[in-house]
Chain A
Amino acid sequence: MTFYLPIAEMSANILLYLGMGAAVGFLSGMFGVGGGFLMTPLLIFSGIPPAVAVGTEAPQITASSVSGALAQWRRRNVDVKMGTILLCGGLVGAVIGVFVVKALREIGQFELFVSLSYVTFLGAIGTLMMIESINTIRKSQAGQSTSGRRPGQHNWVHGLPFKMRFNRSKLYISAIPPLVLGALVGILSAIMGVGGGFIMVPAMIYLLRMPTNVVVGTSLFQICFVTAATTVLHASQNQTVDIILALLLMAGGVIGAQFGATAGQRLKGEQLRFLLAGLVLLVGVRMAWDLIVTPSELFSIGAALGGH
């Protein structure tokens, strides 16, 4: 059963994309991540043009993070003030990112840039997560307590100007780090087709020193708005959002996420982080492989974009 995708201009196997959405949804429900870092490469591997893959992922992440953010909101796990600062930075970052995408496509280096970004960020974060989770597993096996960071501790970040009070996170820190963090995540979100949670969550815990129970909800809050903005920007600047493909992925993803969340409850936190680290590294290695190994075809052709 196929459906002709209006923007990707190719015919897609409906079951394939429903299945992909469900598989990635399962993993995202299990690990509590957006899944964009997994879905975008999968879409590219399955033959969707990279720019359309990135553009179409944005609404799909909006859908899944709305669902998650609402759930966290009901439990009062969202620091709205912090989230708003993050999303202001994020919106600026998204605009910058979308124009960077446009410029890269015109000089024909978009695919390279996306691959390099994935290899760099997934490699770095996957490695850090892997180390952290292995340490935590070892500590818990040795019977030591695995305490999280204490929110009261200060580091260099706390010395910056423009301090604001964040009551929900019990913080009194400068507004600059969340703005810059939000902007960075916004840029990456627009270029890589991800939500950015895998960068924001560790940064919020280790850099901003927010209490862990508020981190996921606030991050989802930011992601909702930034990916919504990215969707509109990609659609209006690059016309790369395929609404039919996005619907297929959303449908599969929502179903998969429910099963994933149930499965995730059976595992301990550090085991989940270990598995997630493994998955992140796997995707990073796969993209690096494509960059390093001699390709079978040295040439490529594409429609000419922009001015001649």
Chain B
Amino acid sequence: MLLRCNVARQLLGVMGAIVLALAAVAFSAENATAQDETPAVKPAAPATSPPTARAPTGKEVVLADIATRRVAVTSTFDGSQILIFGTIDQRVIDRPTRDAYDIVIVVKGVPETLTARRKARVAGIWLNVASQTFKDVPSYYAIVSTRGLADISEPDVLSELQIGFKNVPLKLADAKGEALPKDELAAFRAAVVRLKRSEKLFQSKPQGVMFTGDNLFRATIDLPANVTVGRFETTVYLFRDGKLRSTYQAGINLEREGLEKYLHGFAFDYPFWYGIAAVILAVAAGLLASQVFGRPGK
């Protein structure tokens, strides 16, 4: 009896040491990266593209930037707010009033493949009876503008630029979808937009772009906590009289950091060892509970 207690204690000690060592490595990784985050003017993550401007006629040009180009997903991540700001650089002689211009900002997340399913009642219970898979669906789609989209430009212009929930690319992933009746396909597409909006992953803020003076504008966008980690493409469109005058593109990187990065990487790159680690942790926790409380739970 005494011998068993000693063996259990030694086992407990070894497992406790392993757990503490893992925790120390993970937390030191988190702290080290957190210190690097101070925003000195250092080159950002290699994936960030340099800002580009396109001025089709050499007249007015929109320039923009994003307050944080890199958002870290740490253990305290609970969503984030992105501030986009910019200016209209007018080189024409005639300077129309600010009201002549409209800004539309579109932020698109990582494209993903997703499946929409529809339930129906079969033998008294509700179950999934039909599905359609879409590819290249942006995991996040936010659209902020100075006015309602319908007031800014014509539907075919917006559709060509893929601006607006109606125009979000939802490509069919397989040939099966082409055989579906049009209204069913439309119902699936509408469901994707509706469900994404309810999760706050598709957002729309008409009148979300605010001007200070004639040229300086800003907009804030919410990234919810369950957004897919990766690169977000931000495009700023400048419209005048319903026509596109200029665009500007920039990127935001949402990256895992510290403990989150370590655990996610561990779970997806070494899944078997992650499972073993989970078991070791569970057994250690069980042994710890048994020793500390000393009385049988069952």
Which residues of A are interface residues toward B (Cβ below 8 A)?
Answer: 2-4, 6-7, 9-11, 28-29, 32, 59-60, 62-68, 70-72, 74-75, 108-109, 112, 116, 216, 220, 228, 231-237, 239, 241, 243-244, 246-247, 250-251, 254, 257-258, 260-261, 291-292, 294-295, 297-304, 308
Contacts and interface: CB of A to CB of B under 8 A. Distances in A.
Interface of B: 1, 4, 8, 73-79, 112-121, 124-128, 131, 133, 135, 173-174, 187-188, 191-192, 194-196, 225-226, 228-229, 256, 259-260, 263-264, 267-268, 271-272, 274-279, 281-283, 285-290, 293, 295-298
A240 to B, nearest CB: 9
Contacts of A6: 256, 259-260, 263-264, 267
B286 to A, nearest CB: 3
10 contacts: A9-B228, A60-B282, A68-B296, A70-B8, A70-B290, A71-B297, A112-B125, A232-B272, A300-B117, A301-B191
B287 A67 contact: yes
Contacts, number: 213
Contacts of A303: 112-115
A258 B275 CA distance: 27
Contacts of A234: 275
A65 B174 CA distance: 46
Contacts of B286: 62-67, 70
Contacts of A258: 293, 295, 297
A66 B279 contact: no
Contact of B297 (A29, A241, A294, A300): A29
A254 B289 contact: yes
A239 B295 contact: no
| Residue of B121, B131, B133 most packed against chain A (CB within 10 A) | B131
Given A28-B297, A59-B281, A299-B194, 15 more contacts: A2-B78, A3-B76, A7-B263, A66-B283, A75-B296, A228-B282, A231-B275, A232-B275, A241-B267, A257-B297, A260-B297, A291-B126, A300-B119, A301-B117, A308-B174
Secondary structure class of chain A's binding surface, majority of residues: helix
Given A68-B296, A71-B290, A235-B271, A295 B119 contact: yes
A257 B112 CA distance: 43
Given A60-B282, A291-B126, A235 B73 contact: no
Q: Which 3 A-B pairs have the closest CB atoms?
A: A71-B296, A66-B286, A235-B275
Contact of A301 (B78, B192, B277, B285): B192
A70 B7 CA distance: 12
A72 B296 CA distance: 7
A7 B73 contact: no
B272 to A, nearest CB: 4
Contacts of B127: 109, 112
Contacts of A297: 195
Given A66-B286, A308-B174, A228 B279 contact: yes
B230 to A, nearest CB: 12
B190 to A, nearest CB: 9
Contacts of A239: 267-268, 271
Contacts of A257: 289, 297
A225 to B, nearest CB: 10
A74 B127 CA distance: 48
A251 B119 CA distance: 38
Contacts of B1: 74
A220 B260 CA distance: 33
